[in-house]
A and B are shown apart, each in its own frame.
Chain A
Amino acid sequence: MNSAYKWIGSVGVLVLAIAWVSVLAEFQRSIYSTSTTVGIFALLALPLGLLYGQGGTVSLAQGAFAAIGAYTTAIISTRFNLSPMLSLLPAVVLPALIAFVIAKPILRLPELSLALVTLSIGTVVEVALQRGGDFTGSFNGINGIPTLPFVGNSRIRAHFVIWTVVVVLVIAYVNYMSSLRGRALNAVRTDHLLAEAMGVNVALDLSLLFAITAGVAGLGGWFYAHTLGYVAPDSLSIAVSANVLFMVVVGGRKSVLGPIIGALIFTVASDFLPGTESQGIFFGGILILVLLFSPDGLMTLVPRRWRQRVAASPKPLAVTQAVQTTGAAR
């Protein structure tokens, strides 16, 4: 029988992993902060996985949109003393709006040009934040950002809150990909003309998705600002944008859990490797190996039977069993 909720597999794996990490963290408290960092990166990487992995549209501006979200909430909550909950909306909407406005002219560019253009958005944002004077705190950034009312200084709560958000996003992602809109997004990845011929308004749909991607990054930035208590121009820099793309590609751009695995590998490796040189060698090496031997990311190494076919219609169990028992003709 067909499962009514297609996200149960992915969410089940994710929830088990979170539970396991939470138990480990009771013995080693620092795991909570590592896990929160992974969660924030996952928030940046997951929507990029949808845009790039499913829609074939790359973006190297996730760090920049997260920075816009982080600075928006930092400025509102420190300069105007408003509650972080009031600045949540602007921190999400502002990057989404900026993304939507710039999307239409740039999203029709080929992949490499699009990567360069989105990368330069990051440069513009970074320079603007550095030269923003007292408004953005220049090179020093902004200190003393209040904590979230429902998190406070608790690392444990931060861990659970961020991962709850990630789980909700995973459900939304899987729902989207199993809808006709998900199929349309895959058609856009295959061929823009094909998608248009199916009645897909490619320019509008990609713009909306690009805006959502940026808005979720803004949400990540908002959470980042309120858990760390400060933001600086280099805290969510161009390097972060590149790292987020690295997470998506290494983890698996076509799978929902891929970007989260990528975020985990990246964060844990950065914690264990001391200098930036050794990190560079490690990440560069991993990227080359993955692209050579498993171009669609590490998630494709998971046996096909376990993997959820997010984009496609899942096989009804009867068919799967029939194929398995007959030994599969292909």
Chain B
Amino acid sequence: MSFDARNISIAFGGLKVLKDVSVSVRSGVITGLVGPNGAGKTTLFNCLTGVAHPQEGTVRIDNADISSFPLHQRIQLGVSRTFQTPRLDLDASVLDAVMMGFYSRNKPSLLGGFVASRGRQAREKALREQAERLIAQFELTSDPYQRSSALSLGRLRLLEVARALASAPKFLLLDEPAAGIDEHDRALLGRAIRLAAADRIGVLLVEHNVGFVAELSHHMVALVRGQIVAEGNPQSVVQDEQVMTAYLGGHRVAA
């Protein structure tokens, strides 16, 4: 299966943020998207998830055009995303936050919501156990009933990834998941991403940190000023002249 953005162009006012960009996320493959600040990474991410709508180009899942679908509908189709700034109810418990991830695949009908049948209770119990396993896997907290506000920023990012995985996605889109997290949490995150790919989930990893992406991804795409300047295996992209120039600030110093 593949999730593709094809020939995406988008401008905000007169500012062209993306120019004819194509990227594809395939089952079981970790695609890394790197680029300096302002390259358009998050905009591309938003076009894929339906938060932004490109002026040109299409977004497709297995060739079916989903360009006009809003975010919630794409989620129902098996796309799952995290946010650059974690978004969650800090007053709710960690367990509640992870449980929220189950919504897209397990929501009861409107009327079913008002009736707590035995079947529903059994299903909810199973989901709670599954959520507790995810909390343990990501070492989020020893007390699942702890309020999310007690967690560090790194743990909140991992919590978002755990929540995204709870929806049993076909495609997992991570927006800078490793920003501001320590070595240990980064290793947990890396392991989880590899496991997801091994489970045939297609992963798109948008990151500022080139090292982390190069280490994890199978395929790497470099975006500079709204255009793809290099793509292919991580080694070649990292060594690409334009990518290096972009990261070193415009002028190349003799190496």
Q: Does A287 lie at the interface of the complex (its beta carbon under 8 Å from any beta carbon of B)?
A: no
Given B70, B100, B146, which contacts A184 in the complex, CB threshold below 8 Å? B100
Given A178, A182, A189, A315, which contacts B145 in the complex, CB threshold below 8 Å? A315
Interface size on B, residues (CB 8 A): 46
Question: What's the dominant secondary structure at chain A's contact region?
Answer: helix
Q: In the bound complex, what is the Cα–Cα distance between A29 and B114 (angstroms)?
A: 35
- Contact mask for chain A residues 33-52; partner B; CB cutoff 8 A; 1 contact, 0 none: 00000000000000000000
Q: Are A181 and B87 in contact (CB under 8 A)?
A: no
Q: Does A104 lie at the interface of the complex (its beta carbon under 8 Å from any beta carbon of B)?
A: no
Q: Are B150 and A330 in contact (CB under 8 A)?
A: yes
- Contact mask for chain A residues 168-185; partner B; CB cutoff 8 A; 1 contact, 0 none: 000010011011111110
In chain A, what residue has the closest Cβ to B76? A199
Given B73, B113, B116, which contacts A5 in the complex, CB threshold below 8 Å? B116
Q: Does B212 lie at the interface of the complex (its beta carbon under 8 Å from any beta carbon of A)?
A: no
Q: In the bound complex, what is the Cα–Cα distance between A202 and B128 (angstroms)?
A: 24
Question: What's the dominant secondary structure at chain B's contact region?
Answer: helix
Closest Cβ of chain A to B48, distance in Å, is 12
Closest Cβ of chain B to A301, distance in Å, is 18
Q: Are A187 and B89 in contact (CB under 8 A)?
A: yes
Q: Are B145 and A180 in contact (CB under 8 A)?
A: no
Q: Does B246 lie at the interface of the complex (its beta carbon under 8 Å from any beta carbon of A)?
A: no
**Chain A residues near B92 (CB, 8 Å)?**
186, 190, 311-312
In chain B, what residue has the closest Cβ to A173? B114
- The B119-144 residues at the A interface (CB cut-off 8 A) are 120-121, 124-125, 127-128, 143
Q: Does B232 lie at the interface of the complex (its beta carbon under 8 Å from any beta carbon of A)?
A: no
Q: Does A14 lie at the interface of the complex (its beta carbon under 8 Å from any beta carbon of B)?
A: no
**Assuming A187-B89, A190-B89, is B107 touching A180 (CB within 8 A)?**
yes
Q: Are B99 and A183 in contact (CB under 8 A)?
A: yes
Q: Does A13 lie at the interface of the complex (its beta carbon under 8 Å from any beta carbon of B)?
A: no
**Assuming A197-B81, A330-B150, is B110 touching A187 (CB within 8 A)?**
no
Q: Are B110 and A181 in contact (CB under 8 A)?
A: yes
Q: In the bound complex, what is the Cα–Cα distance between A190 and B92 (angstroms)?
A: 10
Q: Are A186 and B89 in contact (CB under 8 A)?
A: yes
Q: Does B64 lie at the interface of the complex (its beta carbon under 8 Å from any beta carbon of A)?
A: no
Q: Are B116 and A187 in contact (CB under 8 A)?
A: no
**Chain B residues near A323 (CB, 8 Å)?**
143
Binding site for A on B (CB under 8 A): 49, 51, 70-73, 75-76, 81, 83, 87-89, 92-93, 95-96, 99-104, 106-108, 110, 112-116, 118, 120-121, 124-125, 127-128, 143, 145-147, 150, 163, 167
Binding site for B on A (CB under 8 A): 2, 4-7, 172, 175-176, 178-184, 186-187, 189-191, 193-202, 208, 311-313, 315, 319, 323, 330
A-B contact pairs, 15 of them (CB 8 A): A172-B114, A175-B116, A181-B113, A183-B96, A184-B103, A186-B89, A189-B89, A193-B51, A193-B87, A194-B83, A197-B72, A198-B103, A198-B163, A313-B95, A313-B145
